[in-house]
Structure 1
C-alpha cells in the first residue's frame, strides 16, 4: 500500500460517535426560530457532556400530551413555548407553586412521579431586570407592563418578587378579571389602562417598563412610551423601536435575548442537575444573534 492509499484509508475510517443517552427539546409552533438549542447545547459542550443533546420539535397544544407521553426514557426534559404552555401545565403530574399561580408552564422535567411543570420565565424576567437596573432594582416601586397575555404573567410575578407593589398594565383589551387571581395572590396594586389613556404620562410615572408584546402592538406609540428603562421581550429584530426611543431619551434597555438566557439557565439546571455554565451559554446565544 503506497502513502496515498494509507492516507485515504485513514480518512475513510469512520469516526466513533458518542451515543446520546440524555435528550431534551423545545416544543412549540412555529419552532424553527428558537435559540434554545444554541443555549443548551453550548452548556453541554462547556461541561463536556458529550452524551447529551437538545433539539427542536414542532408541537401544538393538541400535540403535547402525545409527545411527552411517547417520549422514551432518554428524554429528561422539555422547554415549552407557545402555543403549548397551558397544555404543559394541564398534562403535568406535579406543578410548582409559581407555575400554578401563573397558570402556564415553560418547563417539563422528568421525575420518578412523571413530569413536573415549572415556569422559568420568572427567572428570565428577574435576571433581565437585574441587568437593566442593577442595585436600583431594590429601590423602585412603580412599573408599567405592556400587554396582558401569557408573558405578562411571569413579568408580574417577577416584579412582585423584586418588591415592586404598584403596576400599571397597558393593554388593548381589559384583562383585569383574567389577571385578578394572580394580582391578588401577589399583593400588587394594579391599574389597568388602554391606549386611549394618557400613556405618555403612564410611562413617565413608571420607574421601569416591561413590554411583553410584539413590536407591532405598540407601533406608533414608541415615542410616548420611551420614558423609563425598558425590558422588551423581543430579541429579533433588535433593537426594537421602543428601545430605540427609550435609549434616545437616555434610558437603559435590555432585550428578550437576556430574558431568554436567564430562563434557560434554570431549565438547564433542572434537566441536568448541574450548575449552568452561564457565560458560555450567553456567549453562544449572542454569537448566534449577530
Structure 2
C-alpha cells in the first residue's frame, strides 16, 4: 500500500563505518519530493555482531533499511525472503518490512547500475571490462548480464580472485575471461569499462586512456573525479560516476519502502552533489 504523506514511518542505513554515507541526504530529498512529511531516515553504526540485536529492537513504525558493508550478506539469515536479484549475488542492500511483519530482502545495486547506464543511452554493448574482483564486481557482472551480449574481461590481482570471477560468471550466465592486473591498461579500450576498485587503485591507469575512449563507469563518488575519470572525460569519453549509481539504487529503495513512484532521480542527484560540495 502506498504511504500516506502524514504516516510516521522510519527508515535508515546501517553499516560500519557509516559516517560518510550519503543515503540520508538522498532519501530525505526523495521524501521531500514525494511530500512524505511524516517520514524520517537516519544512519546507524552497526557491525555484523550487532545486526541481530538491532533487528530485534525495531518497532512497527519501521518501513525499511538500507545496508552497506559489511552487512549485505550477514543480513540474509535474518530475513524471511530475498528476491531473485539479491540471491543471484548473495547480497542484500535493501530490507522492506511488510504490513504482515515479514522481512523481505532485495538488491537495488544491480538494477540501479543498469538504470544509470540507460540514463546515458547505453542499452547494450558487445563486450565489457571490469577492473577489480570484490563484492561490487559481482554486482557489476550481474548488471552486465542485462546489457552485455558478449564477453566480459575481469582484470584481477590473484589467481584466487580470477577463479572467483569465473565462478560468478558461470552463476550469472556471463562469459568471463580473466586477465592479470598488470595488463589493466588493455581494459581501457573496451566499449564499457566498469571500475570497482578502492580510491587510488586506478590512478596509475590514467595516462593509458586511449585517444577516443568509450564509456567508463567508475563506482567511486568521493573523492571525485578520480584521476582515471578526469582523464577519460578530458579525452571526450562518457563517464558515469558512483553518485549516479547511488542515486538510482536509492530511487529504487525509496519506491520499495514507500510504495510511491516515480521518484525523480535529478532531485536526489542535486542533493547529493550539494552535500559532497560541502564536505
Structure 1 residue 282 and structure 2 residue 269: aligned? yes
- For the pair shown, the structure with the greater C-alpha radius of gyration is 1
In structure 2, C-alpha distance between the alignment counterparts of 1:261 and 1:158, rounded to whole Å: 16
Aligned to 1:233: 219
Aligned to 1:194: 180
Pairing of 1:251-290 with structure 2 (within 5 A): 251-275=237-261, 276-290=263-277
What RMSD over aligned residues (CA atoms) do the two structures have, in Å? 1.9
After alignment, is 183-192 or 232-241 more displaced?
Answer: 183-192
> What do the CA deviations read for 1:173-214 (whole angstroms, capped 9, x no partner)?
2324334443113321111112223x323321x101111111
> What do the CA deviations read for 1:31-64 (whole angstroms, capped 9, x no partner)?
1111111111111112221110000000112211
Contact 1:165 1:187 in 2 (8 A): no
In structure 2, C-alpha distance between the alignment counterparts of 1:192 and 1:22, rounded to whole Å: 46
Pairing of 1:99-248 with structure 2 (within 5 A): 99-111=86-98, 112=100, 114-132=102-120, 134=121, 136-138=122-124, 140-174=125-159, 175-197=161-183, 199-204=184-189, 206-224=190-208, 227-248=213-234
Per the normalisation by structure 1, the TM-score is 0.86
In structure 2, C-alpha distance between the alignment counterparts of 1:93 and 1:147, rounded to whole Å: 32
Per the normalisation by structure 2, the TM-score is 0.89
- Post-superposition offset of 1:282: 2.5
In structure 1, C-alpha distance between the alignment counterparts of 2:110 and 2:128, rounded to whole Å: 16
- Post-superposition offset of 1:215: 2.4
- Post-superposition offset of 1:261: 0.2
Misfit runs of 4+, over 6 Å: none
- Post-superposition offset of 1:218: 2.1
Contact 1:166 1:188 in 2 (8 A): yes
Select 1:91's aligned residue among 52, 75, 78. 78
- Post-superposition offset of 1:113: 5.2
Report how many aligned residue pairs link the two structures.
Answer: 268
Structure 2: gaps spanning 5 or more residues: none
Tell me: CA distance 1:56–1:220, structure 2 relative to 1, closer, same or farther (3 Å): same
